[in-house]
Structure 1
Amino acid sequence: MPDTLRIGLAESSRVDSISALIRSLASHFVATPDDEQVGPFLYSLHPSSIAALIADPAFRYYTATRGDTLRGVIALRDRTHVHHLFVSPDEHRRGIARALWEHALAEARRPGEYGAFTVNSSLHAVPVYERFGFCVSGPETERNGVRFVPMRRD
């Protein structure tokens, strides 16, 4: 059914669309796109870099699709840090970020485990993470041309 949202482990065949989705939203977290400091970060969003992360056992990538179309992606590093969470702009405010977060959370937690989670949120996404129970844990920061707010969920 094409309207059904499906969430599952990211497949290596999706690296191009995952990269394209994240790069299309770069304006929300890159402070100055022309700054040469941001180059290495943007390269980390290249399909080959995403493929390496998907293959890395420290990372778990999950995708949300409708039909064959990628609608969102979440990645956890070491089961405790939200490394990526992006949703296609035409799907914003439709519960996809929450569905991805809840899926990743359920997969990351082992029975009886209640550890903390962290994220370096774009300024744009702070309200989303607050709705997921995260709280700002430090000042707005800019590193390597990327502007973010550290957040934590206990």
Structure 2
Amino acid sequence: MSVNIRSAVISDSKAISELILPLAKKYICPTCDASAHYILLNSMSEENVGKYLSTNYNYVIAVTANDEVVGVAGVRDNSHLYHLFVDDNFQGNGLSRQLWEAVKEESIKNGNSGIFTVNSAVNAESVYSRFGFKRTEGIRNRQGMIDIPMLLDLEY
């Protein structure tokens, strides 16, 4: 199935939220303390995604021919990979890399010098490693949110 990658606009916030919430419940929540689930999932609400899209975040989305959003990547401040999600039915075909490359290119155009960070879910570390990210410290627990801070420096 072919998809088109384009910049997201505020009117995409509902579709983005509807894509990432079930994926976060399935893949991220099981790796975090139950106490952090509400905070995590609330950060992905349609309202909050709309706020991100109207402030210092850049998002790209992958849409099918019938305009279904099947992937998303979002970067905060042109330097921190904040969201990267791909619908289960579209995983394994390089779509996450295409989304990452698109949002990385946009961030560099907007002034990023080639340094990116991500707080990887424990079970997503291998994806970010394939993109060139390296751990900056081990697995951490911040108020129940379990993640791995990682850095990509394109200078090296």
| TM-score, normalised with respect to structure 2 | 0.87
1:119 aligns to what? 118
CA shift for structure 1 position 6 = 1.0
2:79 aligns to what? 80
Q: Which blocks of at least 5 consecutive residues in structure 1 are unaligned?
A: none
2:96 aligns to what? 97
1:141 aligns to what? 140
Aligned pair in 2 of structure 1 residues 81, 32: CA closer, same or farther (>3 Å)? closer
Q: Return the alpha-carbon distance in structure 1 between the equivalents of residues 82 and 19 of structure 2.
A: 15
Q: Return the alpha-carbon distance in structure 1 between the equivalents of residues 149 and 32 of structure 2.
A: 19
Q: Structure 1: which 4+ aligned runs deviate by more than 6 Å?
A: none
2:30 is the alignment partner of 1:14? no
Q: Is the 8 A contact 2:8 2:59 kept in 1?
A: yes
Q: Is the 8 A contact 1:29 1:146 kept in 2?
A: no
Instruction: Figure out how many residues of one structure are paired with residues of the other and give that number.
Output: 150
- What is the one-letter code of the residue matched to 2:144? G
Q: Return the alpha-carbon distance in structure 1 between the equivalents of residues 146 and 139 of structure 2.
A: 7
2:22 aligns to what? 24
Please give the per-residue CA displacement for 1:22-70, whole angstroms capped at 9, x wherever unaligned: 111123222457x3443222211110111111111x1101101111111
Q: Which blocks of at least 5 consecutive residues in structure 2 are unaligned?
A: none
Q: Is the 8 A contact 1:29 1:148 kept in 2?
A: no
- What is the one-letter code of the residue matched to 1:23? L
Bigger CA drift: 124-133 or 9-18? Answer: 9-18
Identity of counterpart residues, as a percentage?
A: 32
Q: Is the 8 A contact 1:12 1:51 kept in 2?
A: yes
Q: Return the alpha-carbon distance in structure 1 between the equivalents of residues 99 and 10 of structure 2.
A: 18
CA-based RMSD: 1.9
Q: Is the 8 A contact 2:3 2:62 kept in 1?
A: yes
Aligned pair in 2 of structure 1 residues 144, 46: CA closer, same or farther (>3 Å)? farther
Q: Is the 8 A contact 2:32 2:146 kept in 1?
A: no
Aligned pair in 2 of structure 1 residues 113, 13: CA closer, same or farther (>3 Å)? closer
Q: Return the alpha-carbon distance in structure 1 between the equivalents of residues 71 and 111 of structure 2.
A: 29
